[in-house]
Amino acid sequence: MHRGSQIHNVSHCKATTKACSARSNSTEARYFAAVVPFLNSMRLLIYGLRLYTDEALVKSVTREGKPEELLRGPLYYVLVLLFSVLVFWRESPIGIVSLSMMSGGDGFADIVGRRYGSAKLPFNRKKSWAGSISMFISGFLLSAMMMLYFSSLGYIDVIWEEALGKLALVALAATVVECVPVTEVVDDNISVPLATMLVAFLLFSSNRTIVN
């Protein structure tokens, strides 16, 4: 597996966990938390447009070592993170679940798929059964763990008998979207979180499964 790709995907998990660990009760806390993804987006723009060069950065977060790659997947990722922090923050399960699926789910799908993905999906030869299964499992588990974390801090109240089944549906939807062969048109750093946000909104906003 390409070393840069592995670092790129593992950093997904670390970045999301750090962004979600803020404990401040200040109403301005979300804006302070948004500074990190904002600065990262500016950094990616600067190096992606070749205004400055940083070969170490390019090699660590791209698959082919081209600066312009920074303007696609990596930039989309931090922009989605920035959007989620500002719009959903920590009181909404929608943001929590969407970031968990994008970082834990999509990230591990790439790692596992590249290493053990010899059995390809019949409708998309670029994806594998191992990668898709790992996406579903890791995305579901990380979503549940992050919701448990925020629930323990008192930000959300979770009725687990209902929430776990709905998390499984969200994970399934994200996995299906990630499998669809449209990456030439829509990057999965955009399609996966958008699909997750939509399904999570439909499932968790309809009743009392989550009480903010």
How many domains, in total, are found in the chain?
1
Quote the CA–CA distance of 80 and 99 in Å, as a whole number.
8
Of residues 63 and 95, more confidence is placed in 95
Over residues 34-48, mean pLDDT: 91
Nearest alpha carbon to residue 81 among 64, 56, 106, 62 = 106
Domain range for 29: 3-211
pLDDT at position 183 is 64
Mean pLDDT of the chain: 82
Q: Report the share of the chain in percent with pLDDT over 70.
A: 83
For residue 13, name the pLDDT band (cuts at 50, 70, 90). very low
Over residues 30-42, mean pLDDT: 89
Question: Beta partners for 120?
Answer: 128
pLDDT at position 89 is 82
pLDDT higher than 60, residue 143: yes
- Return the beta strands (E) in 71-158 as ranges: 120-121, 124-128, 157-158
According to DSSP, residue 146 is labeled H
Report how far apart the first and last C-alpha atoms of the chain are (Å, whole number).
Answer: 42
Q: Which two tokens stand for residue 179?
A: 């499998």
Q: pLDDT per residue over 127-136, tens digit each?
A: 899 999 999 9
Name residue, tokens 């109240």.
157
pLDDT at position 107 is 82
Question: Beta partners for 121?
Answer: 124
Range with the lowest mean pLDDT among 27-31, 81-85, 119-123?
27-31
Torsion sign over Cα 169, 124, 66, 46: negative
For residue 106, name the pLDDT band (cuts at 50, 70, 90). confident
pLDDT at position 166 is 95
pTM to 2 decimal places: 0.80
pLDDT at position 7 is 40
pLDDT higher than 50, residue 71: yes
